[in-house]
Amino acid sequence: MARITASVYTSHVPAIGAALDHGKSGEPYWQPIFQGYEYSQQWFQEHRPDVIFLVYNDHATAFSLDLIPTFAIGTAAQFQPADEGWGPRPVPPVIGHPELASHIAHSVIVDDFDLTIVNRMDLDHGLTVPLSLLCGQPSPGDFSWPCPVIPLAVNVLHYPAPSGRRCFQLGKAIRKAIESFDAPLNVQIWGTGGMSHQLQGARAGLINRDWDKRFLDLLIADPERLSHLPHIDYLREAGSESIELVMWLIARGAMADVADGGGSAPVVKHRFYHVPASNTAVGHLILENS
C-alpha cells in the first residue's frame, strides 16, 4: 500500500523563483531566506519520496475568471511551467502520476468531495517555487525534478475560497485514498502559499508576525481547532492573500495524528520563519509521520 511519510509547508513567493533563476540567491536580501531551506534540501535528499502530492494555488494562470474550480486535481502525465508574463521559468516540466492521481480522484469524489479533473494545465509559481526551494535548481544536464508530482489546485484567489474545515477534511480523504492505492509508494504531501501578505489596497504590505507564529503553533499542535478559524480572521489579521494558508490544512489533515485513534502526533523536523520576502512573510515546516 502507498503511505504518506511526511508533509512540507512553504510559502511560494514568485520573486524567490526569480532570485534563483537569475543567480541572486547569495545576495544579502535573499541569503537568509535560502539559508532557511538548507536543512530542507538536505532532508529532501535523504527522504526522497516516490511521489509528491502538491497542494497549491493557481494565480489566474491555468484558470481565468472564466472557470474557477474550487479543488482541481491534475491527472496528466506531464505539465509545463507556465508563462506568467515574463516567459516560463527555466525549470523542468513536472512529470505527473496519472494512475495514482486517477485513483485519488475516484476515491475522494466517491467520498463526497467534488474535485475537478484536469487533464491539461500549465503550472505557475504556486507550484514551481516550492519545488525549487526543496529540490534546488536542476542542473542543465539533469533537466528533471526528482520525482513525479500530483498537483491539486485550490481556489483561494476569487471569493468564496473553501473553508479551513473543508480543506482539513479533504486532507483526511486524500490520506484514505493514498493508503488504499495498491503499490508500495512513499508519498509526501505539501501545502503551499501564505503566510501573511496583502498585495493590494490600503493595507498592501501587511505582515503580522505574531499571528503567523500562532498559526504555525496551532498547525502543529491543534490543526482541528485551527481548521475552524473563519476566513475573516485570516483577512483581518494577516491580509487578504493570507487566505492561501487554508491549503496548509489539506496537507495537515492528511497526516496521521492522535485524534484519529491509535496514531501519534507528527514530528516537527524543521521550522523556519522570515520577514520579508517580496511582500510576504515566509513560513516553512517539515512534519514527519512518526
Supply the residues annotated as catalytic: 125, 197
Is residue 105 a contact partner of residue 184, using CB atoms and an 8 Å limit? no
Distance CA 239, CA 200 (A): 9
Q: Does 40 bind ligand DHB (CB under 6 A)?
A: no
Distance of closest approach, residue 287 Cβ to ligand DHB, in angstroms:
22
Q: Which helix (H) or strand (E) segment is 127 a member of? A: helix 125-135
Neighbours of 66 (CB within 10 A): 5
Q: Is 248 helix (H, G, I), strand (E, B) or coil?
A: helix
Distance of closest approach, residue 154 Cβ to ligand DHB, in angstroms:
13
Q: Does 196 bind ligand DHB (CB under 6 A)?
A: no
Q: Does 235 bind ligand DHB (CB under 6 A)?
A: no
Q: Does 14 bind ligand DHB (CB under 6 A)?
A: yes
Binding segment for ligand DHB (CB under 6 A), chosen from 8-16, 134-142, 164-172, 263-271, is: 8-16
Using alpha carbons only, what angle is made at residue 172 by residues 274 and 167, rounded to the nearest 5 degrees?
Answer: 55
Q: Does 13 bind ligand DHB (CB under 6 A)?
A: yes
Pick one of 279, 281, 283, 284: the residue that binds ligand DHB (CB under 6 A): 279
Binding segment for ligand DHB (CB under 6 A), chosen from 7-15, 171-179, 226-234, 265-273, is: 7-15
Pick one of 151, 241, 247, 249: the residue that binds ligand DHB (CB under 6 A): 241
Beta strands in the chain, from DSSP E residues, in sequence order = 3-10, 51-56, 71-74, 78-79, 94-95, 116-118, 149-154, 186-192, 267-277, 280-288
Burial code (b: 16+ CB inside 10 Å, e: under 16) for 179-190 equals eebeeebebbbb
Q: Does 278 bind ligand DHB (CB under 6 A)?
A: yes
Strand-pairing partners, residue 268, are 287
Tell me, residue by residue from 106 to 145, as one string, x for binding to ligand DHB by CB under 6 A and - for no binding.
----------------------------------------
Rounded CA Rg of the chain? 17
Residues 57-76 that bind ligand DHB (CB under 6 A): 59
Distance CA 100, CA 122 (A): 19
Binding segment for ligand DHB (CB under 6 A), chosen from 22-30, 73-81, 265-273, 276-284, is: 276-284
Q: Residue 239 has which C-alpha cell?
A: 491580509
Distance CA 268, CA 287 (A): 5
Binding residues for ligand DHB, how many (CB under 6 A)? 11
Distance of closest approach, residue 126 Cβ to ligand DHB, in angstroms:
7
Residue type, 89: R
Q: Does 175 bind ligand DHB (CB under 6 A)?
A: no
Q: Which residues bind ligand DHB (CB under 6 A)?
A: 12-15, 59, 197, 199, 241, 278-280
